[in-house]
Amino acid sequence: MEKRLFTSECVTNGHPDKVADSISDAILDACLQQDSLSRVACETMVTTNFCLICGEITTKAQVDYQAVARETIRSIGYIYPENEFDADSVEIQCRIHTQSADIALGTNEEVCGAGDQGMMFGGACTQTPELMPLPAALSRALCRRMTQCVQSTDLLRPDGKAQVTVEYDESGAVVGIDTVVVSIMHSPDFEMSQLRRYIREGVIAPVLKDYGFDIGQVAHIHINPTGNFVIGGPNGDTGLTGRKIIVDTYGGYFSHGGGAFSGKDPTKVDRSATYMARYMAKNLVAAGLATQVQVQLAYAIGVAEPVSLRVDSFGTGLISDEQMTALLRKTCDLTPAGIIKKLDLRRPIYTATAREGHFGLPDRPWERTDLAEEFRKALSADGV
């Protein structure tokens, strides 16, 4: 019988695209630290010994964008000049201007409309304790562990990737782990056989154990499959803000609306409404109303209320999808202002999301399950 496989990937915070994400979000946080009403849409590009910061920023904050970028690069671990991209010698240029007056007109404090049109998705399922799809959770955990290892040895470098293939049965239940792929940048002094043993024993085995799996039961494991990975980071591949949108969400397991997160303040519904969709989906699953849920929101620029809301429980719901949709409309304020207030988003909390992940981590406000009991009470009051 053919295996039912699903694969997700993740990257470490030293991947070039994540370096760009981290710089954009660090600039956002620096603005919000001084001015909580800052309007920020910051895009970054990094390549060999060069960093370009662009975008639209309207703020009362006084921020040294170059200094923020250098400190971010340093904190990630790019401190070795031989890698052709390091915090001290990288050239940084800025091309920043203020937000378009046309966009500001629809998102000001009087109108409080959405910052753009578009659709956003959030998902949750019972495959892991954090209610995330297992392939996405495992690949994220592997990257988090690699980052810890980079910080504890001078033989590894920050750029890395992980990919996990999970096998499911016909009902959608997890059968096991089929394949794990890990690639990590390293010093020329790290001999390949030693590196592979280090990653197998120090990264893959403990992460799988945390999720209840034995490394000996994995059918295929590939560690730096092409061999040396010495040339990496922005010197090996140009990085851009917003290019890892599937990594940032659910590894492709749930749908994606196409909007990126990093560098955007919470008036941009690409970011805030996606967080809200995850919050609602997670609480529906936490309330026991379904084992798998996807929530879609859609907005029109300058309009506060969403133009659509949809719940899909993939046939796992204890009540109908229409009832769950009605429940969300009844209990949640889905205007941009309501989302910002509910999740307390006008704070400098975003650099950590670019580095560590947006979903499945307990300290994110959209990961709370405080609505679950409210959902149950609402249904009880309706006689359901």
Give me 161's structure tokens: 């990737």
d(C-alpha 74, C-alpha 374), whole Å: 44
pLDDT in tens, 200-249: 999 999 999 999 999 999 999 999 999 999 999 999 999 999 999 999 99
Domains 16-107 and 118-126+269-381 share a fold: yes
The pLDDT score that the predictor gives to residue 114 is 85
pLDDT in tens, 20-47: 999 999 999 999 999 999 999 999 999 9
CATH number attached to the domain at 4-11+133-232:
3.30.300.10
SS3 (DSSP) at 94:
strand
d(C-alpha 183, C-alpha 353), whole Å: 22
Cα three-residue angle 132-134-139, rounded to 5 degrees? 100
The pLDDT score that the predictor gives to residue 306 is 96
The pLDDT score that the predictor gives to residue 240 is 98
pLDDT in tens, 175-203: 999 999 999 999 999 999 999 999 999 99
Domain topology for 118-126+269-381: GMP Synthetase; Chain A, domain 3 (3.30.300)
d(C-alpha 236, C-alpha 85), whole Å: 10
Boundaries of every domain in the chain: 4-11+133-232, 16-107, 118-126+269-381
The pLDDT score that the predictor gives to residue 65 is 97
Neighbouring-strand partners of residue 296? 121, 310
CATH number attached to the domain at 16-107:
3.30.300.10
SS3 (DSSP) at 268:
coil
Give me 27's structure tokens: 């600039």
Instruction: Give the DSSP letter string of 322-354.
Output: HHHHHHHHHH---SHHHHHHHHT-SSS--HHHH
Q: pTM for the full model?
A: 0.94
Give me 345's structure tokens: 């988003």
Residue with tokens 């991209």: 85
Residue with tokens 């695209």: 17
